[in-house]
Amino acid sequence: MRSNGSLLEARVLTAFYGDFQALFDVDFRIERNETVAIIGSNGAGKSTLLKSITGLVRTKAEAIYFDGEAIGGKPAYRIVEQGISMVPEGRCLFPSLSVEENLAIGAYSKRQGPWNLEAVYEVFPMLKEKRIVPATALSGGQQQMVAIGRALMANPRLLLCDEISLGLAPVIIKEIYAQLERISAEGTTLVIVEQDIKRAMAVSDHVYCIREGRVVLEGRPRDLGREEITKAYFGM
């Protein structure tokens, strides 16, 4: 059993898109400083879970606790102020803004912390050369770095990464994950949503598998067998 001083806790979390129910009674816990992976196939509800945490999808107040405080139902901009930041699926960079402007807007919530432009450029040096270029003119991998940097600029205590390896070459993915490890080492708690099971298992301390809106498996990667995971993932 895990202790109750978790950083983030979801209890009996349900979420709807109109009449369509996307999450059913999800229970979910993230401890400080750990890296949690959420795996599942397309449409399983992984992104919905992240959106519920960040406030883009409405939930009940008691459904989500962050550091002991009920944050469910709060609007997204308030949740950023609390210290939860997300790298959205598909990156969602602002096309009208340059690379540096995208990073700068990440700091809009004015949260204090170690992350600023210089710190981000240190982790992703190739962005510094391209700082005045429109963000969407960059390659996929570089855009992903901008998206991560932008999320870091909010000095989050909890960083959510939604499918950051999608569409990227393995070499780039490897580099990005190396930087993520570094970020995690500096004290940020990470949640990684991935379709790439192997990658997710390799970097995380705890894994949740979601299928059709329900948590069907959870545990430490080294305790979970390959067959077990495959069964849960595909529902066989």
Partner 1 sequence: MNQAVRIERSTRASHFFVSFGLLLLFLLITAPFYLGRSELYLLVEIFSYLALASLWNLLAGYTGLASIGQQGFVGLGGYSLFALTIFFRMPPILAVLAAGIGAALLAVPTAWVIFRLKGAYFAIGTWVVAEVYRLVFAQVSALGAGSGTSLPTQVVYSIAPTRVLRDNLIYWTGLGLVVAVLALIYLLLRSRWGLALTAIRDSEAAAESVGVDNDRTKFLVYFFTAGATGSVGALISLQKLRISPEAAFSVNDWTAFVIFIVVIGGIGQMEGPLIGTIVFFLLRGFLADFGPWYFMLLGAFAIIITLTMPKGIAGWLAEKFDLDLFPLRRRVRLPKQKSDKNPSKTPKDGPRINYRAIRRL
Partner 2 sequence: MDLVATVIDGILLGGLYALFASGLSLIFGVMRLVNIAHGDLIVLAAFIAMIVIDHFGVHPLVSLVLVVPFMALLGYGLQRGIFNRALDSDILRPVLVSFGVSVFLQNALLQAFSADSRRLQAGNLETLHFDLPGGVAVGVLPCLMFMVALVVIGGLQLLLYRTELGRAFRSVSDDQQTAQLMGINHAHLFGLAMALSLAIVSVAGVFLGIRGNFDPSIGPTRMIFACEAIIIGGLGDLWGTLVGGVILGIAQTLGARINPGYQILAGHLVFLAILTLRPQGFFAKIR
Interface positions with partner 2 (CB under 8 A): 54-56, 75-77, 80-81, 85-86, 88, 92, 94-97, 101, 104-106, 108-110, 150, 154
Q: Is 118 in the site for partner 1 (CB under 8 A)?
A: no
Transcribe 90-118 into DSSP letters: T----TTSBHHHHHHHTTTT---SS-SHH
In the list 14, 33, 116, 195, the residue contacting partner 1 (rule: CB under 8 A) is 14
- Closest approach of partner 2 to the CB of residue 88, in Å: 6
**Is the Cβ of residue 17 or residue 234 nearer to partner 1 in the bound state?**
17
The binding track of 19-58 with respect to partner 1, each residue x by CB under 8 A or -, is xxx--xx---------------------------------
Angle between helices 170-185 and 140-152 (to 10 degrees): 10
Residue 91 zone, left/alpha/beta (φ > 0; ψ -120 to 50; rest):
left
**Is the Cβ of residue 54 or residue 165 nearer to partner 2 in the bound state?**
54
Q: Is 177 in the site for partner 1 (CB under 8 A)?
A: no
The distance between the two most distant Cα atoms of the chain, rounded to a whole number of Å, is 50
Q: Is 11 in the site for partner 1 (CB under 8 A)?
A: no
How many other C-beta atoms lie within 10 A of the C-beta of residue 14?
15
Q: Is 212 in the site for partner 1 (CB under 8 A)?
A: no
- Closest approach of partner 1 to the CB of residue 130, in Å: 33
Contact segment (CB under 8 A) with partner 1 among 16-24, 70-78, 142-150, 157-165 equals 16-24
Residue 186 zone, left/alpha/beta (φ > 0; ψ -120 to 50; rest):
alpha
Distance, CA of 46 to chain centre:
10
- Closest approach of partner 1 to the CB of residue 176, in Å: 33
Contact segment (CB under 8 A) with partner 1 among 13-21, 55-63, 73-81, 124-132 equals 13-21
Q: Which residue has the tokens 């992240």?
A: 50
Binding partner at 21 among partner 2, partner 1, none, C-beta below 5 to 8 Å by kind: partner 1
**Is the Cβ of residue 16 or residue 77 nearer to partner 2 in the bound state?**
77
Instruction: Give CA–CA dist 58/159, Å, rounded.
Output: 20
How many other C-beta atoms lie within 10 A of the C-beta of residue 206?
19
Residue pair 155/115 in contact by the 8 Å Cβ criterion: yes
Q: Could you list the residues that contact partner 1 (CB under 8 A)?
A: 14, 19-21, 24-25
